[in-house]
Structure 1
Amino acid sequence: MSTNTMNSLADASGRVGASVTTGSGLSFVGVLRSEWIKLWSLRSTVWSFALVVVVSVGMALLIALASRMDQSGVAIPPEAQVGYLVTASTVGIFFAQMIVAVLGVMSVTGEYSTGMIKSSLTAVPRRLPMLAAKGVVVFVATYLVGLGSILAAYLVASAIFAQGDIGASLAEPEMLRGLFAGPLFLALIAIFALGMGTVFRSTAGGIATVLGILLVLPIVLGLIPADWATDASPYLIGNAGPEIVASSGFSAVKEGWQNLLIVIGWVAVSSVFAALLLKRRDA
């Protein structure tokens, strides 16, 4: 065996040893980097995240102004003041969840529509590391944007409420819950949507299914006059998600961590189906 051949084999072995079992020369870090670049190269990503911030701040502004007018000249106890700030800071999440759901679906269906998915799966033939990396990137990006949007909403709402001597520190437990649980909910919705996008491989089909589960299914169950529908309603992802951020007092599932487990369960089901179908189907 020639020296050149031995050197080539050594180099190849080194690359495989350095990789994190992606089935190719790419390490998992390399796949992460590739997915990060792909996500932010899409104009829809920038516009979607910008819209999340605008919606969050805009809703905080509207809620704060409306609350100021309703409570003008009325003394508000400290615990109620915290509630006002939490509501104003996190109310935009209801609308933001739809935005990140669309983004989550498009982060994978966009590759199917352009044919780029074939190149991605060629680079990572074991496939699942690519899906995992895409999930990590979408989760982290959505969480960070969600955190920034809620913080910005809090600052805007605080400035308006301060004119009426209403305020609450970020150190308040309810404020901290909203600040960190809100972005977590949005990030989980994005991962749920990514899984559904992988299952359907169609932007229209994925978005319709995700928004149907989030928004339509709770309404449908609410219209059914049966005990089983009432009992099942709190376990829908669209109903359990907001309870992670702040308890409404109306849900049968009272604890935030219990609602978090419900949402994680929906995400897990979506992700498992996505992984199974990605492995079995042709690109």
Structure 2
Amino acid sequence: MTTETLKPASQAPRLRMPSAASTNRVRFPGILRSEAIKLRSLRSTVWSYAVLVLISLGLAALMAATLASSIEGQVPAEAQTAIVMQVSSFPVALGQLVAAVLGVLFIAGEYGTGMIRSTLSSVPRRLPVLWAKSLVLFATTFLVGLVSTVGAYLIGSPLLAASDVAAPLTDPDVLRAVVGGALYLALIAVFALGVGTVVRSSAGGIAVVLGIILILPTVLQLIPADWAANMIPYLLSDAGLGGLGIESGTPGGLEPWQQLLVVLGWVVASLSAGAILMKRRDA
């Protein structure tokens, strides 16, 4: 007859159950990867960036050919640099609209489909999602914008060279226009992301952003008052196109670095409003 010795309950193996905090905790690099996958998987991302590049190349070629045909005689060196800057950065004025639409769709599309609920349930603190979206959108749009502005320079330069107008890409002013154009496009996209977070509607967010970029400057120009004229240099598009080297001679007495701060102020205000509402409102 055999006897079985039972272990006391105190000696039984203990299993550690994961806490809710540990299972729900998602590190920021993982959130970044998730948002990068989302951005790549959006159909709007592909056509938006494709349109942005095609617009830049096409408009640069058109403007360079137009300017080259109208140039007569010898052009001073400073004027040559200004012309090359204008050709390289001219497409950004239209490209900003594409970047703005993409920025709104990146967040408002999730609200529209309801996918934002699963996103925020996996990241209960919520705000890391907004920061990750901002970083991914900024980096991607900056790279695509840089391809667009450099491509505009490479297409426009040979056409201008036929009229003896040339400036190297390493010229500080040309480089400021090329890099500044890409930076401005990236900041516009992030600004639109903040607006989309506040509005949570694709159509509404696009309407608000395009109204700020296009309609607001026109409205202020039509108001015959000093306060309206004094506000124009502090508008998003006016400060951006001037401070980032895309346009020169923007009125208002602001230095380029001050205009850059104005653009950053718009972006910070947009993201701050979006962060506050994302934290307080239900998904």
The bucket for the TM-score relative to the shorter chain is: over 0.9
Q: Contact conserved, 1:247 with 1:254, CA < 8 A, in 2?
A: no
Query: Take 2:119 and 2:213, find their aligned partners in 1: how far apart are those partners?
Result: 30
What percentage of residue pairs aligned between the two structures are identical? 49
Inter-CA distance 40–4: structure 2 relative to 1 (3 Å threshold)? farther
The answer on whether the counterparts of 2:90 and 2:246 sit within 8 Å (CA) in structure 1 is no
Deviation of the 1:247 alpha carbon = 4.3
Which of 1 and 2 has greater Rg? 2
What's the CA shift for 1:78? 1.3
SS in 2 for 1:245: coil
2:128 paired residue number: 129
The 2-side partners of 1:245 and 1:4 are apart by 65
- The gaps in structure 1 that reach 5 residues or longer are 17-22
Deviation at 1:121, TM superposition (A): 0.3
Deviation at 1:161, TM superposition (A): 1.2
Alignment of 1:1-283 (within 5 A): 3=13, 5-6=15-16, 9=18, 24-72=24-72, 74-243=73-242, 244-283=244-283
Q: Any gaps of 5 or more consecutive residues in structure 2? A: 1-9
Contact 1:174/1:246, CA 8 A, preserved across alignment:
no
Which consecutive aligned stretches of 4+ in structure 1 deviate over 6 angstroms post-superposition? none
CA distance in 2, matches of 1:251, 1:105: 30
Distance 1:199 1:229 in 2: 26
What TM-score does the superposition give when structure 2 sets the normalisation length?
A: 0.92
CA RMSD between the two structures? 1.7
TM-score, with structure 1 as normaliser: 0.92
- CA 1:131–1:3 in 2, change beyond 3 Å: closer, same or farther? farther
Q: Distance in 2 between matches of 1:186 and 1:58?
A: 17
Question: Matched residues in 1 for 2:57 and 2:13: separation?
Answer: 64
Please report how far the alpha carbon of residue 179 of structure 1 lies from its aligned counterpart in structure 2 after TM superposition.
Answer: 1.5
Structure-1 separation of matches of 2:281 and 2:177: 40
Summarize deviations over 1:10-40 as a string: whole Å, max 9, x none.
xx79x95xxxxxx933210000000000001
What is the deviation of 1:245?
2.1
Pick closer, same or farther for the CA change 1:28–1:76 going to 2, 3 Å: same
- What residue is the counterpart of 2:4 in the other structure? none
Q: Tell me the matched-pair count.
A: 272
Q: 2: distance between equivalents of 1:255 and 1:58?
A: 31
CA distance in 2, matches of 1:62, 1:3: 77
What letter is aligned with 1:105? V
**Cα shift at 1:246:** 3.5
